[in-house]
Amino acid sequence: MIKYVFKTLWRHRARSLLTISGATVAMLVYCFVGSVQEGLNRLVTGPDAEQRLIVFQENRFCPTSSRLPEDYARQIKKLDGVADVMPIQVWTNNCRASLDIVVFNGAHPEQIRKQRPLKLIEGDWARFKSGDDSAIIGKNVAQRRGLSVGDQFSIGELSVQVVGIFSSDVPSEENLIYSSLQFLQYTRGLDTAGVVTQHEVLVSESADPDQIASRIDKMLGAGPVATKTRRKGAFQSSTLSDLVDLIGFAHWLGYACVGMVLSLVATTTVMSVQDRMKEYAVLQTIGMRPLRTIGLVLLESTFLCLLGGLAGTLIANGLLAFGGFAIGAEGATIAFRPSASLLYMGVIISLLTGIIAGIVPACQAAFVPLVNALRD
The per-residue pLDDT for range 43-65, each reduced to its tens digit, is 777 767 788 999 999 887 778 78
In this structure, the answer to whether residues 281 and 217 fall within a common structural domain is no
In this structure, the answer to whether residues 77 and 137 fall within a common structural domain is yes
In a domain, 172, yes or no: yes
Parent domain of 117: 59-225
More confidently predicted of 196 and 321: 196
The pLDDT value given to residue 373: 64
Q: What is the pLDDT of residues 223-266, one digit of tens each?
A: 889 999 999 888 888 877 777 777 777 778 888 888 888 888 88
In this structure, the answer to whether residues 80 and 26 fall within a common structural domain is no
Confidence of residue 188 (pLDDT cuts 50, 70, 90): low
Range of weakest confidence among 22-31, 58-67, 199-208: 58-67
The pLDDT value given to residue 129: 87
The pLDDT value given to residue 190: 66
In this structure, the answer to whether residues 285 and 350 fall within a common structural domain is yes
Q: How many domains does the chain have?
A: 2
In this structure, the answer to whether residues 172 and 272 fall within a common structural domain is no
In a domain, 233, yes or no: no
Pairing relationship of beta strands 195-196 and 198-203 according to DSSP bridges: unpaired
In a domain, 51, yes or no: no
In this structure, the answer to whether residues 221 and 256 fall within a common structural domain is no
For the segment 298-327, the average pLDDT, to the nearest whole number, is 89
The pLDDT value given to residue 186: 83
In this structure, the answer to whether residues 101 and 217 fall within a common structural domain is yes
In this structure, the answer to whether residues 23 and 92 fall within a common structural domain is no
In this structure, the answer to whether residues 213 and 257 fall within a common structural domain is no
